[in-house]
Amino acid sequence: MAIFDSFVKPVLDSVTTMIGQFHMSPEEKAQATQAISDAAEKAKAAADDYEVQLNAIAGQNIRADAQNGDKYTSRARPSFMYVIIAVFAFNYIGIPLAEIFGSKVQPIELPGDLLTLFGVCVTGYVFARTAEKVTALPGDSQIKLPFGLGSIGNNAPGAQK
């Protein structure tokens, strides 16, 4: 969706406005506008498909890392999260306790991009754990994904029963 909105849609909009400036019959203008509209739909579908494929590849990479026999690789993401949580604990628990006892300690500064990455990781783990819990429920337990990406669960198409 971002690729379409960022690159393709502005180009198609400018072409549509240019068609309005040409001296053509109303039928020709309608045909040209319809052709642009059809091209926009195809480009949007292709961009959406591209993003779905990128997400699938990223998911395959994460699963491959998790199933890898190397313990360092499979524990790298949780280790990153534990380190950030330890920094938070130091900054918001350790430093106030140190100040109570008269010590002056400087907090650890984390860059904004690192905090954003931490937020994305936590969100991914929370979603995965929620999906795991929901799909373990008896009956029609599934999560419907947005943007027509399908669903996850025991009654989803292609799910094991």
Clarify whether residues 95 and 135 are in a common domain.
Answer: yes
154 neighbors 142 (Cβ within 8 angstroms): yes
Clarify whether residues 81 and 54 are in a common domain.
Answer: no
Clarify whether residues 21 and 50 are in a common domain.
Answer: yes
Per-residue pLDDT of 30-84, as tens digits, reads 787 788 788 888 887 887 788 788 777 877 777 776 677 777 766 777 788 889 9
Structural domain includes residue 33: yes
Clarify whether residues 36 and 87 are in a common domain.
Answer: no
Clarify whether residues 4 and 63 are in a common domain.
Answer: yes
- Domain final position from 22, 41, 70: 70
- Domain final position from 49, 70, 91: 70
Per the listing, tokens 């860059």 go with 111
Rounded-to-10 torsion of CA 126, 68, 135, 52: 80
Quote the DSSP letter at residue 27. Answer: H
- Distance, in Å, from the CA atom of 57 to the CA atom of 157, rounded to the nearest integer, reads 20
Structural domain includes residue 156: no
Range of the domain at 135: 75-146
Clarify whether residues 110 and 124 are in a common domain.
Answer: yes
Clarify whether residues 81 and 142 are in a common domain.
Answer: yes
Q: Which residue, 39, 33, 10, is CA-closest to 2?
A: 10
3-state secondary structure (DSSP) of residue 24? coil
Q: Which residue, 62, 16, 79, is CA-closest to 87?
A: 79
Please name the amino acid found at residue 80. F
Structural domain includes residue 153: no
Looking at residues 14-29, what average pLDDT do you find? Answer: 71
Report the number of distinct structural domains present in the chain. 2
CB atoms within 10 A of CB 12: 17
Tell me the pTM.
0.44
Q: Which H or E run contains 26?
A: helix 26-67
Structural domain includes residue 157: no
Clarify whether residues 21 and 80 are in a common domain.
Answer: no
Structural domain includes residue 89: yes
Clarify whether residues 54 and 112 are in a common domain.
Answer: no
Per-residue pLDDT of 103-151, as tens digits, reads 888 999 989 999 998 888 888 888 877 777 776 666 665 666 666 666 6
- Domain final position from 50, 70, 90: 70
Structural domain includes residue 99: yes
